Structure 1
Amino acid sequence: MSLSEAGAATSQQIRLAAGEHDLAAVFVIRGAVFVAEQNVPVEEEWDLRDTEADHLLALHDGVPVGTVRMVVEQEGVGLLGRLAVLPRARGTGTGKALVLAVEERARERGLRSVELHAQTQALGFYEALGYTAHGEEFLDAGIPHLHMERDLR
């Protein structure tokens, strides 16, 4: 899947966030989903890893509606995180497109797998995309999570 592929009902584009305007959109979307909707404290939502991350931005008809970041966690492993889609774009395939775009970006960077910390309510979403849960449930910002991973080889 290309980072700029058209969706069925709307023109959907997934691209690397570039410049201040795109990064502002990334943080507005994350603030709306995590801070306002899920009550994650602001000080836990934004962190220093944002400066080293690849941020991807989803647009519908040119309007930002979703985002995800990938951090190279260790040699050969990318950490997918902060996947957020605005309510009006949920159910349109945007979340799936963002995950696939992270996988493509990881392959471009020569990574062998992608890991993530999934909210337990989202396990089925990630399992349908080939991710496998492992380890014990843990709390992140007061929300239950599980570690998941997908081998890209």
Structure 2
Amino acid sequence: MSTKIRLTDDLDACMAIRFTVFVDEQGVPAEIEHDDYDAVARHLLATHNGKPVGTARIVLQGRLAKIGRVAVLKEARGTGLGAALVRACEKEMAKLGGVDETILTAQVSALGFYEKLGYVAEGDEFDDAGIPHLLMRRPLR
């Protein structure tokens, strides 16, 4: 098993994974999946034996960084890849320096996943693309 996670400029590979997970599986409208943040974000791509299987992005906002668009293809779910992608994002933020905290907006169905990674939900539930979400926060250590 050869799984690698790295920063990438291959936005096409990242978008293909995101469209499969968010648009095809979850019904997110295709026209809102790609947004202006994609041009300024740092994108991570996970590959298994050379095949793209997961992605995430980091958007810097001063001393705060937002992890988003965490997506793993069905065949790679349950392997720990999602957690590895989040941790890889945190490592990238730590390398940059000056980032104190990370936030993300989690689908309510994924709260337990992020809580196990040390994220804490705050505020009220909100709708994003027809899916209930909560803001979650974690200090970078």
Compute the TM-score of the two structures, normalised by the length of structure 2. 0.97
Q: Which runs of 5+ in 1 are unaligned?
A: 1-9
In structure 1, the residue corresponding to 2:27 is in which secondary structure?
Answer: coil
Matched, 1:107 2:94: yes
In structure 1, the residue corresponding to 2:125 is in which secondary structure?
Answer: strand
**Cα deviations across residues 21-72 of structure 1 (Å, max 9, x unaligned)?**
x221101000000011101001211101000000000011111000000001
Counting only pairs closer than 5 Å after superposition, residues 4-153 of structure 1 correspond to structure 2 as 10-18=1-9, 22-73=10-61, 75-110=62-97, 111-153=99-141
Superposition RMSD in Å: 0.7
Distance 1:141 1:109 in 2: 31
Distance 2:20 2:6 in 1: 20
Give aligned pairs, total.
140
Distance 1:146 1:26 in 2: 24
Distance 1:61 1:96 in 2: 19
1:125, CA displacement in angstroms?
0.3
After TM superposition, what 4+ stretches of structure 1 lie above 4 angstroms from structure 2? none
Q: Which runs of 5+ in 2 are unaligned?
A: none
Distance 2:5 2:22 in 1: 20
Equivalent AA in structure 1 for residue 34 of structure 2: W
